[in-house]
Amino acid sequence: MMPLIKPKVITVKDLDGVDRSYTISRFPTVDSREIITQYPVTGLPKIGDYKSNAELAAKIMCYVEVQPMQGEPIRLTTEALRNNHIPDGETHLRIEWEAMGYNTSFFGAGKTLSFLEGFKETLKAWILSILMDLSERSSRTTKPL
């Protein structure tokens, strides 16, 4: 297994308020491109594709390690390892968020919100255009033969 790229230790609080440490990594170039271009869109409610988003989240977690009390760090490459070392779904999402922020310039420091707001506005305009076109077509009256 390839070593982590520029490893960074992060601490996230779980649902019970317990601080937990994980080591995140920069994504390798090819995986980075796939994750960064698809992850935000597949996670959008009512638009995204949960299965694709879950697969990308699993790929993200392949670049996350946990340090047990004894022994070598464990890379969270399988569902079983994630279930054993991440106590809840919210903590999992916080780790994903931290990893995305570490691997992009637009996911950190509130920039994600402006990125998603811009995407939302573009999407809204596109949907409105489609609806107006459909409305116009359905309200046309035709002369009886």
Domain boundaries, the chain: 5-139
Q: Is residue 99 within 8 Å of residue 91, measured between CB atoms?
A: no
- E strand spans, the chain: 5-13, 19-26, 64-66, 74-75
Output the CA torsion 89→60→78→64 (10° steps): -90
Judging by DSSP bridges, how do beta strands 74-75 and 5-13 pair with one another? unpaired
Residue 141 pLDDT greater than 80, yes or no: no
Band (pLDDT 50/70/90 cuts) for residue 47 is confident
For the full predicted model, state whether its pTM sits above 0.85: no
* Per-residue exposure over 10-29, b if at least 16 CB sit within 10 Å of its own CB, e if not: bebeeeeeeebebbbbebee
Three-state DSSP class for residue 52: helix
Please give the structure tokens belonging to residue 61: 């977690």
Write the pLDDT tens digit of every residue in 54-113. 999 999 999 999 999 899 999 999 999 999 999 999 999 999 999 999 998 866 555 555
Q: CB atoms < 10 A from the CB of 123, how many?
A: 14
